[in-house]
């Protein structure tokens, strides 16, 4: 076994590998970019080496920098993790040429499966079912359009390289084909430096089923059963589970055998995942093979009791697989939910910012958390916005679902917008709980996207109580430090000269302004709330944890304050309010009319129109990219751009004004 390995990755991925290496007594080496100097994976590793600036293209994606760090550390092997260089055949070759063991499959297998078109041809020869499509070398737009017509709409355009939904577009009718092709190619070129695509028939209601396979250098190949990864947004997985519900032993054996045949056809060694689409009639089709460990591998570990990173290390060291196929059994059910810094109500736009409050559920035999961040860390513009993976297990799916709901309710994050409440909505949806799912689940069930409601009276009461208790504490401290601690001006009972003992607290709730009259009582406060009056009292500790009694009901909550912004976390929900201070708003003004702002922090990828040229409402104006996602800024109405404030390649923050736009009617009026 190795004595020291380098992990050519960051964040949750690197932390996951380090945990297993430490358990096995293997020393670990981390690499880091400028912004990752204080990252969790750097702190966990035994050694760490700087490899460049923050953008991955200038650090984590440069093989020479990784190999140079490996030389400096005198390690024996390099683990690529998943993502970044993990499926880069040239990197695998470079590691071996430099004298390091590459903890992954042979470079030839990576090349074969890295090209979706080549992979389809190999699978066809191996008698693995494939989806009808075009996998040729001719990439002329006209030929591709003709091929799409022959396949029949809807079709899906896929980049031959990479994965994770990048360079992928679904086209439902011919009129949108060329625009979708251009977008897929542009995204593929930016992500994988390769804009070659294939076309496939788009199955409208399939399930995404994948098989975890493992092979050693001695010719042994096995599978570790299936995972259902159908819950996706933008073709990227959100919730995964193992085993897949509704899959009988006969179908499981057939898909498993097909996955093993796929691995054998390319002389595979190491961990891999063979992905299939399962149609409603029970037919399944090879989609692609990921020549690495997958993000969702923990659900397989939970139902088999195996550590797949340990298996990777054993196989890379030349040892035999720890188990035979017949020795593996499925025990219980596991579900993984990916927690992202993103806004589901704004098309899952990624968010950046500091994790000013982070509290996770208690880990146990039923709850596991894989993460690479801590409270106070930043979710950066430069990398994937995933905060953590929440994995739950029980003896059956119903039990696992129960733990999922409990754990999501106990997960607290403040400082960035997250998908926690969206995940909770999925977890309780009747179709999900019954296993009636497919890859269109999120798009189909619009009820998952109900607009956030205004703060309830209970949330407002908690916010009021936090403000009042904090003021009481501040007043006590001021009295203690003053020359006259007994002055009536230090009283915290609402005392006012020649006036009733009441006060008004005003909160901003999105676009709403809510004013609440507070009447001070000896043992608490009477609040005049939008739905009626409630008596409240409670306690607040230094961590923001509150035990409150509101209208006779006892409530536990956590309230995170950043200046005058309050995040109220209770019963698995999160609500943001701002305590209104009139003096703090003096001099503020509305954003000038006719200016379009960035909906997220990111890079300007393309400027699509000329200035002073009339465009129609909905015309794409600018394409931005951040954290593996493209977003198009479109014309809000008929009119023209009078000025662009940034050029291609510029990095902008959220809400930065990007351009000046004038409506057509305004222009006519000026004339």
Active-site positions read 292
Distances (CA, A) of 14 to 21, 336, 543: 11, 18, 30
| Cβ atoms of residues 155 and 173 within 8 Å | no
Beta strands in 84-242 (DSSP E): 101-102, 133-134, 155-159, 168-171, 197-201, 207-215, 221-233, 236-242
Name the β-bridge partners of 168.
158
Residue holding tokens 């430099």? 98
CA dihedral 10, 339, 256, 396 (to 10 degrees): 130
User: Which tokens is 256 given?
Assistant: 């498993």
373 in helix, strand or coil? coil
Q: Cα–Cα distance between 158 and 171 in angstroms, integer? A: 11
CA distances from 526 to 522, 541, 548 (A): 10, 22, 13
For helices 297-304 and 308-316, angle between their N-to-C axes, nearest 10 degrees: 100
> Nearest CA to 32 among 6, 4, 5, 3?
6
Compute the 3-state secondary structure of the chain and give helix, strand, coil in percent, each to the nearest 5: 30, 35, 35
**Residue 309's CB: how many other CB atoms inside 10 A?**
23
> Which residues fall within 8 angstroms of residue 576, CB to CB, at 6 or more apart?
565, 566, 567, 568
Measured in degrees and rounded to the nearest 5, phi and psi for residue 136 equal -80, 175
Instruction: Find out whether 350 and 385 touch, Cβ atoms under 8 Å.
Output: yes
Q: What is the DSSP string of 383-423?
A: S--EEEEEEEEESSHHHHHHHHHHHHHH-EEESS--SHHHH
Rg (CA), the chain: 28
User: Do the bridges between strand 524-529 and strand 342-343 make them parallel or antiparallel, or are there none, so unpaired?
Assistant: unpaired
Return d(Cα 538, Cα 469) in angstroms, integer.
8
* Angle CA 227–231–235, to nearest 5: 100
What SS3 state is found at 370?
strand
How far is 575 from 131, CA to CA, in rounded Å? Answer: 45
State phi, psi for 281 to the nearest 5 degrees. Answer: -85, 5
Ramachandran angles phi, psi of 323, nearest 5° = -135, 150
First CA to last CA across the chain, in angstroms? 79
CA distance 650 to 643: 15
User: Which residues lie across from 171 on neighbouring strands?
Assistant: 155
- Pairwise CA distance, residues 5 & 2, whole Å: 7
Neighbouring CB atoms inside 10 A of 193's CB total 11
Measured CA distances, 357 to 385, 562, 612 (Å): 16, 10, 46
What backbone torsions phi and psi does residue 276 show, to the nearest 5 degrees? -130, 155
């Amino acid at each position: 076994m190795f004595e020291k390995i380098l992990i050519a990755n960051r964040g949750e991925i690197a932390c996951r590998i380090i945990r297993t290496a430490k358990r096995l007594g293997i020393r670990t080496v981390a690499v880091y970019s400028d912004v990752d100097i204080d990252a969790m994976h750097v702190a966990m590793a035994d050694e760490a080496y700087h490899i460049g600036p923050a953008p991955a293209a200038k650090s984590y994606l440069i093989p020479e920098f990784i190999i140079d760090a490996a030389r400096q550390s005198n390690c024996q092997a390099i683990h690529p993790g998943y993502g970044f260089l993990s499926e880069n055949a040239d990197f695998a070759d470079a590691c071996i040429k430099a004298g390091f063991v590459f903890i992954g499959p042979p470079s030839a297998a990576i090349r074969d499966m890295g090209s979706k078109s080549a992979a389809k041809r190999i699978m066809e020869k191996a008698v693995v079912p494939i989806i009808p499509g075009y996998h040729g070398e001719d990439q002329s737009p006209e030929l591709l359009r003709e091929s799409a017509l022959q396949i029949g709409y809807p079709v899906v355009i896929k980049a031959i390289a990479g994965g994770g939904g990048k360079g992928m577009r679904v086209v439902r009718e011919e009129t949108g084909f060329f625009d979708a092709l251009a977008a897929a190619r542009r995204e593929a070129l930016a992500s994988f430096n390769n804009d070659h695509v294939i076309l496939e028939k788009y199955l409208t209601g399939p399930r995404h089923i994948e098989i975890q396979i493992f092979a050693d250098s001695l010719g042994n190949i096995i599978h570790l059963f299936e995972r259902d990864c159908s819950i996706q947004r933008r073709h990227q997985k959100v919730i995964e589970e193992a085993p897949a519900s509704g899959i009988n032993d006969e179908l499981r054996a057939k898909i498993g055998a097909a996955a093993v045949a796929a691995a054998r056809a390319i002389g595979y060694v190491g961990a891999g995942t063979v992905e299939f689409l399962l149609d409603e009639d029970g037919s399944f089709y090879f989609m692609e093979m990921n020549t690495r460990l997958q993000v969702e591998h923990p659900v397989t570990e939970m139902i088999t009791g195996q550590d797949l990173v340990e298996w990777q290390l054993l196989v890379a060291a030349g040892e035999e697989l720890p188990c035979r196929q017949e020795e593996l059994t499925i025990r219980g059910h596991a579900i993984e939910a990916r927690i992202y810094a993103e806004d589901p109500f704004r098309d899952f736009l990624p968010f950046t910012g500091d994790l000013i409050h982070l509290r996770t559920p208690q880990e146990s035999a039923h709850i596991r958390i894989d993460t690479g961040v801590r409270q106070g860390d930043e979710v950066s513009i430069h990398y994937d916005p995933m905060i953590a993976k929440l994995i739950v297990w029980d003896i059956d799916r119903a039990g696992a679902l129960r733990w999922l709901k409990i754990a999501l309710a106990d997960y607290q994050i403040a400082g960035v917008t997250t998908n926690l409440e969206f995940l909770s909505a999925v977890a309780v949806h009747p179709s999900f709980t019954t296993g009636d799912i497919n890859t269109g689940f999120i798009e189909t069930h619009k009820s998952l996207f109900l607009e956030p409601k205004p703060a309830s009276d209970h949330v407002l009461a908690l916010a009021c109580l936090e403000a009042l208790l904090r003021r009481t504490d501040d007043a006590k401290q001021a009295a203690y430090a003053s020359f006259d601690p007994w002055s009536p001006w230090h009283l915290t009972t609402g005392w006012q000269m020649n006036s009733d003992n009441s006060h008004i607290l005003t909160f901003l709730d999105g676009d709403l302004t809510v004013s609440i009259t507070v009447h001070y009582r000896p043992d608490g406060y009477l609040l005049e709330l939008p739905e009626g009056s409630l008596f409240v009292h409670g306690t607040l500790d230094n961590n923001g944890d509150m035990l409150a009694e509101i209208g006779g009901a006892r409530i536990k909550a956590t309230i995170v304050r950043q200046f005058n912004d309050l995040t109220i976390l209770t019963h698995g929900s999160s609500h943001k309010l701002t305590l209104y201070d009139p003096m703090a708003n003096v001099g503020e003004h509305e954003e000038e009319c006719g200016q379009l702002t960035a909906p997220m922090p990111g890079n300007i990828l393309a400027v699509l129109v000329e200035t002073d040229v009339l465009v129609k409402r909905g015309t794409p104006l600018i394409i931005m990219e951040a954290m593996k996602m493209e977003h198009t800024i479109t014309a809000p109405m008929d009119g023209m751009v009078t000025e662009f404030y940034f050029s291609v390649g510029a990095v902008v923050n959220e809400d930065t004004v990007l351009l000046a736009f004038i409506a057509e009617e305004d222009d006519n009026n000026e004339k």
